[in-house]
Structure 1
């Protein structure tokens, strides 16, 4: 008996026979969500790209072992999850800022860039078409909420198995049995890991997600706040900048190790950077407002990518600024390589 959501037997048979177009027809509807899944687990765009490609390669090679009467989606997620667990075992966890370091003095400068593979990267959910809402009725976290920087950073505090279990159960809405099948374990082990993961994540996450905060602001008010922030930054207007920053705002600039805490300290650092010639593109990253900054250096005509700032709000004030000084991120967001 063929169950609902099982792949078309003719397409499956063609793919098993080596038809690349048939295989693409099978997996393409799942590509976007699998990419987001790999990103949540790994916290890196490039690692997610690599994991997705490895997932599709393993699926192509293992198609003969897939039970054609079953849904394809759980089978693909099982492969993707195990690819990501293999990747986690080979590298250190990722961070937004160095949790074991104290805030820097404004005159300390950004410091020497650290190896970028330790940093969480922002997710281009708007560009990649990640949908609103929940992935399943049983999910606890919204899809956009689950790619927010704070959520992905919280996941990095979890051991690999707990991280995978929480994503499968709370983000994707898999049952304990389905998650256990994906991880080659028991439902009891999944439930135990989930309870431990929930405790850790609940202790680390802020009280409100950015999606809740942004909905309370509304689109029009949010646009106005972002415009005020951009104008204050471009003009280096100290009073205007102070008016948009929360008292306990933080500013981090991966891959540079130094970070600043408190409105006065952050403002002193911003002023110390001078007043370069800037342009910008407003976008979204991880469901949050983001500004892609372009800078024109003396002697150069075009404005070139400098840093992408992802903003987190608390009420009408900017609570966190994470400026990813990584121009290689811009193509993932469909951003131009330069501005005239």
Structure 2
């Protein structure tokens, strides 16, 4: 048992990130990682070392993810259900959907967040949901993690030629719905923007928010299918439907998906997580995940 833990434990956090990229839910990813380690423990004595322990674990985890996907629908952001609303006073319409969830940076490998944080961004995770399971797994292993095609074939239990063919189909499919690939600003510049955003929301200061948002900014908030695009629409929506009065909101800084984020409380009650995509020209996207359970998941108290 000690040998098993020594050999496999160093890969737990990167496996969680891998499963999260495929599944779009940290809860589902944790379940699959637990299942992966259980399966690996049961078969560890028969592991013959024909591949590295890392590749062996990735094969078990990837197959477990594909099995999980066969029983679950894809996960969405509101923008995946239709176009933006033109009127900032549009009543918000809820949707019964399997929503994509953010992942706390505290659960991931800090080194991976620094070197590969763009591969964890909300926009990319949402775009990956457009792909069928096997295409999604191959694309992640090959184009996101930059694994050699031969290693991907080993993990997927197929040939190198099949991997190349699957990857080609995945790339072609993503061309029709490419993720926002504009690079975000460096981590050292994010804390100031997050602090300004928190102050603007807590003070219900629409003018300050307007200064922070890009002209083409978008605001999405689950569980609402209604979302808004363009600063001219987003700011009136936030002012008239969200901010309320100074003190209604309390935001505590955190980070998710390698991006600046805040845990939100509305009038003392847990709201969920707000994740910002920040570029050199301002905040490009506010993804608000209105799920009180996420507050605990991120390690924060239920009430403030």
TM-score between both structures, scaled by the size of structure 1? 0.81
Tell me, yes or no, if the aligned pair for 1:126 and 1:287 is still in contact at 8 Å. Answer: no
* 2:103 corresponding residue in structure 1: 123
Number of residue pairs aligned between Structure 1 and Structure 2: 299
The counterpart of 1:182, out of the listed 134, 138, 155, is: 155
Whether the 8 Å contact between 1:130 and 1:144 is mirrored in structure 2 is: no
- Could you say which residue in structure 2 is the equivalent of 1:234? 202
Which residue does 2:254 correspond to in 1?
A: 283
Q: Find the partner of 1:255 among 223, 246, 252.
A: 223
1:37 is aligned to 18
CA distance in 2, matches of 1:228, 1:133: 23
Deviations 1:172-214 (A, max 9, x none): 33221221121121100101112232344455022423xxx22
Of the three residues 263, 276, 285, the one matched with 1:292 is 263
Shift of 1:81: 0.3
Q: Is the 2:88–2:228 contact (alpha carbons within 8 Å) kept by the matching residues of 1?
A: yes
The Cα shift of 1:120 comes to 1.1
Name 2:44's counterpart in structure 1: 63
Could you tell me which residue of structure 1 aligns to residue 59 of structure 2?
78
Shift in CA distance, 68/193, structure 1 to aligned 2, threshold 3 Å: closer
Aligned to 2:298: 333
Partners of 1:171 and 1:130 in 2: how far apart? 17
- CA distance change for structure 1 residues 238 and 46 in 2, over 3 Å: closer, same or farther? same
Give the 3 Å change call, closer, same or farther, for CA 113–196 of structure 1 in structure 2: closer
Q: Distance in 2 between matches of 1:235 and 1:66?
A: 58
Deviation at 1:125, TM superposition (A): 2.1
CA distance in 1, matches of 2:51, 2:283: 47
Contact 1:309 1:321 (8 Å CA) reproduced? yes
The answer for the alignment partner of 1:206 in structure 2 is 180
Greater relative contact order (CA < 8 Å, ≥ 6 in sequence): 2
- Once the two structures are TM-superposed, the CA of residue 22 in structure 1 deviates from its matched residue by 4.3
Give the superposition deviation at 1:86: 0.7
Q: Which moved more, 1:33-42 or 1:176-185?
A: 176-185
Indicate the residue corresponding to 1:316 in structure 2. Answer: 281
Q: Secondary structure at the match of 1:131?
A: helix
- 1:271 and 1:171 mapped to 2: Cα distance? 38
Gaps of 5+ in 2: none
Root mean square deviation of aligned Cα: 2.2
Supply the distance in 1 between the matched residues of 2:233 and 2:122 (Cα, whole angstroms): 23
The alpha-carbon distance between structure 1 residues 69 and 87, as it changes in their structure 2 partners (threshold 3 A), is closer
For the residue of structure 2 that corresponds to 1:107, the secondary structure is coil
Q: Compared with structure 1, are the counterparts of its residues 126 and 236 closer, same or farther at alpha carbon in structure 2 (3 Å cutoff)?
A: same
Q: Partners in 2 of 1:262 and 1:133 — Cα distance?
A: 29
Distance 1:167 1:197 in 2: 10
**Distance in 1 between residues matched to 2:269 and 2:163, nearest whole Å:** 47
Contact kept? 2:254, 2:260, Cα under 8 Å: yes
Corresponding residue number in structure 1 for 2:93:
111
**Distance in 2, Cα, partners of 1:331 & 1:233:** 21
SS at match of 1:119: coil
Q: Deviations over 1:268-318 (max 9, x none)?
A: 22122322522221111101111111222xxxxxx3321311111232311
Taking structure 2 as the reference length, what is the TM-score of the superposition? 0.90
